[in-house]
Amino acid sequence: MNIEYIKEKRKGEIADIISRYPADRKKSALLPLLHIAQEENGWLPVDAMDEVADILDIKPIEVYEVASFYTMFHLKPIGKYVLEVCRTGPCCNVGAEELIHYLEDKLGVAVGETTADGLFTIKPVECLAACGTGPVLQIGPEYHYHENLTREKLDQLIDELRRAN
């Protein structure tokens, strides 16, 4: 392991998380630690997962099989801002589909792809428990909810994110 992702950098937090479970059940800290690793690096390279395995005294495969099961973890490099837009029924009934197409046209990439400048990836996700205020998207690592989305709101959001870079 060459680079350190979280071991030293987030030491106190990691110790605090591990203390929440019985001493012989450290593995319970796996999902929280994967979130921290992704927060630090934007996505989860094998090295980062190996480091998590090392911290929790489990085999690397136990980390890989979990990371690949859950949709929030990115196992490949991905845009700096991952626009996670809900594509489930109730949101589509209030315009989510049209909005996803608008986003594709605006950014010049299809769903699942990343813009050439590496800033944005459009990632469709399933119901975010915001169906009454759809269409909705969120952006990690804060995962703030952007609700009642319109084209204007999207334009504004993308502008703001571009300006911040």
Partner 1 sequence: MGKKILLEHINVPGINTLEVYRKMGGYESVRKAVNEMTPDAIVEEVKKSGLRGRGGAGFPTGMKWSFLDKSTDKPRYLVCNADESEPGTFKDRYLMQRIPHALIEGMITSSYALGARTSYIYVRGEMMPVIRILEKAIKEAYAAGLLGKNILGSSYSLDLYVQPGGGAYICGEETALLESLEGKRGNPRNKPPFPAVWGLYGCPTVVNNVETIADIPWIVNHGGDAYAAIGVGKSTGTKLISACGNINKPGVYEIELGITVEDFIYSDEYCGGIANGRELKAVVAGGSSVPILPKNLILTTANNEKRLMTYESLSDGGFATGTMLGSGGFIVFDEQQCIVRNLWNFSRFYHHESCGQCSPCREGTGWMEKVLHRIEYGHGKMEDIDLLVSIAKNIEGKTICPLGEAAAWPVASAIRHFRAEFEAHVQNPDSCCKKHLHRELVHSH
Instruction: Indicate the residue among 72 and 131 with the shorter CB distance to ligand FES.
Output: 131
Interface residue with ligand FES among 58, 75, 119, 131 (CB under 6 A) is: 131
Q: Which tokens in the block code for residue 54?
A: 């090392």
Q: Which tokens in the block code for residue 37?
A: 């690793």
- Give, as one character, the DSSP assignment of residue 131: G
Instruction: Say whether 65 sits in a helix, a strand or coil.
Output: helix
Q: How far is the CB of 104 from partner 1 (least distance, A)?
A: 8
Q: Whose structure tokens read 């090392």? A: 54
Residue window 27-66: x/- pattern of binding to partner 1, with contact defined by CB under 8 A: xxxxxx-xx--------------------x-x---x--xx
Q: How many CA atoms lie within 13 A of 25 on its CB side?
A: 6
Instruction: Say whether 69 sits in a helix, a strand or coil.
Output: coil
Residues near partner 1 (CB under 8 A): 20, 22, 25, 27-32, 34-35, 56, 58, 62, 65-66, 69-73, 84, 87-90, 92-94, 97, 100-101, 110-112, 123-134, 138, 140-145
